[in-house]
Amino acid sequence: MSQILDSVSLHDLTEDHLNSLILRQEHENDRKEYKRELRLSSAADKREFCKDVSAMANSLGGCIFFGVGESNGVAASLDGIEYSEVLGQQINQILTSGIVPRVQSISSFPVRLRSGKHVLVLSIGVDGHLHQVKYEDNRYYKRAGTITVPMDSSDIETFLTHLKRGERVEDIINDYYAALRDGRCFKKPESKALCTICIVPEIASYKLDLSNVQDNFSLRFQPIYASGRCSDVTGRSRFIFDGSRDERTARAVTEVTQHGEIKAYDSSLLASRRTKLPQGCVGCVPSVTYPDKIIAATHRYLNSLLELGVPPPFFLHTALLNVSGYFLWIQGQDSRILVEDDVLPETIHVIDETQFKSRDDAARILRPSLDFVWREFGFDCCHHYADAGDYRPKPW
């Protein structure tokens, strides 16, 4: 949404936060739109409103700020609108009757201004459905940069193909995690708690020749934290792992499949190095080392796939498995001891190579996952991101 607002819960937005959009001259983009007014009086107004909302839902999701004026696509003023519960109910009725199927992931947040007016922030998520506008229209829309445009037949076909692929990706990731929990995998995990990275190409037709790889292949795909001193290959995958070939378990394994999928787990990163743990706690997630290594490995894996000829888009997922009884170790600050077995953020869609060109780029795309982990342990967000959104790890 915005480098500043990404770190703030929409429920906690204030006028000062919104003013930052103007001070920093934040541009509209495919996930952020400014509207000085909210017009809903005529059928044409309602149709335009539903077009904007459905386009966000059919694309990458995002936010529409009603009451924020813009100049050439740049936030310019907080004009505000007159907001009431009656208007909120009207919006809900229009969206319910004007978009089919109904957008499942949508929330509105009225932010009161000192003038007495409000900026209404409409947050729209992607729910996996293709949404059609019904008000004298019956068309599908998408975001194209900063504007809303109709979808043509190829756009609709691409959406449906992506949707089916997304469902398959979730199955690939869930099957991998189930295999780790049950020990039905190459080199059973050595210890209880694991951190993972899964990367799955959106296009499933690529096939790598894993019998003849580059000399630095094992280095490029070494495990998340441990060294990858050994390598083994099957008909469908090459494994880089820490430990001996003769051992049945391993502290860490990275699997590269013939379709360019990366499945990596590491137990050594979560091995407790503290001599004294809080009562009722069995281990800790290191708040500096964990994000550092996840970011570094993700950056390395994505760029290595690119070098092998496997291009984006990619689906990216990170997780903490079997971490019941663990806490996030931040010096001088208490965190929740988890009772859940797993911490499972949302899957991230990596669209193009500019999103992982540098390590800082990789840190930005991983921020939603790291914020999710921090919130699971009782913090508001990952503490290693500056106000501008840059990753700046804090030594504790």
What does 287-325 look like in DSSP terms, one character per residue? TTHHHHHHHHHHHHHHHHHHHTT-PSPEEEEEEEES-TT
Cβ neighbours around 50 below 10 Å, total: 24
pLDDT at position 389 is 67
Taking CA atoms, 262 is separated from 200, 201, 275, in Å, by 7, 9, 34
Q: Are 313 and 165 in contact (CB under 8 A)?
A: no
pLDDT at position 134 is 92
Taking CA atoms, 28 is separated from 67, 72, 107, 123, 287, in Å, by 14, 9, 20, 15, 33
Nearest-angstrom CA–CA distance, 325 and 323: 6
pLDDT at position 366 is 94
Coil, strand or helix: which one is 157? Answer: helix
pLDDT at position 297 is 96
Nearest-angstrom CA–CA distance, 360 and 392: 9
Identity of the residue numbered 128 = G
pLDDT at position 184 is 80
pLDDT at position 232 is 87
pLDDT at position 73 is 92
Residue 282 DSSP symbol: -
Q: What is the pLDDT along the chain (396 residues), one digit of tens a residue?
A: 454 555 566 777 899 999 999 998 889 988 899 999 999 999 999 999 999 999 999 988 889 999 999 999 999 999 999 999 999 999 999 999 999 999 888 888 999 999 999 999 998 987 778 899 998 899 999 999 889 999 998 888 777 766 666 678 888 899 999 999 888 887 778 778 999 999 998 877 678 888 777 778 988 999 998 776 788 888 789 999 887 666 778 888 999 999 899 999 998 888 766 557 778 888 889 999 999 999 999 999 999 999 988 888 899 999 999 999 999 988 778 888 998 899 999 998 888 888 898 999 999 999 999 999 999 999 988 988 876 667 887 765
- Torsion (CA) 391, 392, 395, 396 in degrees, nearest 10: -60
Nearest-angstrom CA–CA distance, 196 and 175: 13
Nearest-angstrom CA–CA distance, 379 and 364: 19
Query: Which two three-digit tokens encode residue 191?
Result: 């210890």
Identity of the residue numbered 43 = A
Q: Are 360 and 298 in contact (CB under 8 A)?
A: no
Set out the domains of the chain in order of their start, with CATH numbers: 5-151 (3.30.950.30), 158-376 (no CATH)
Q: Is the pTM of this model over 0.85?
A: no
Q: Which of 321, 189, 165, 310 minimizes the C-alpha distance to 248?
A: 189
Q: Are 320 and 274 in contact (CB under 8 A)?
A: no
Q: Are 143 and 54 in contact (CB under 8 A)?
A: no
Q: Are 360 and 389 in contact (CB under 8 A)?
A: no
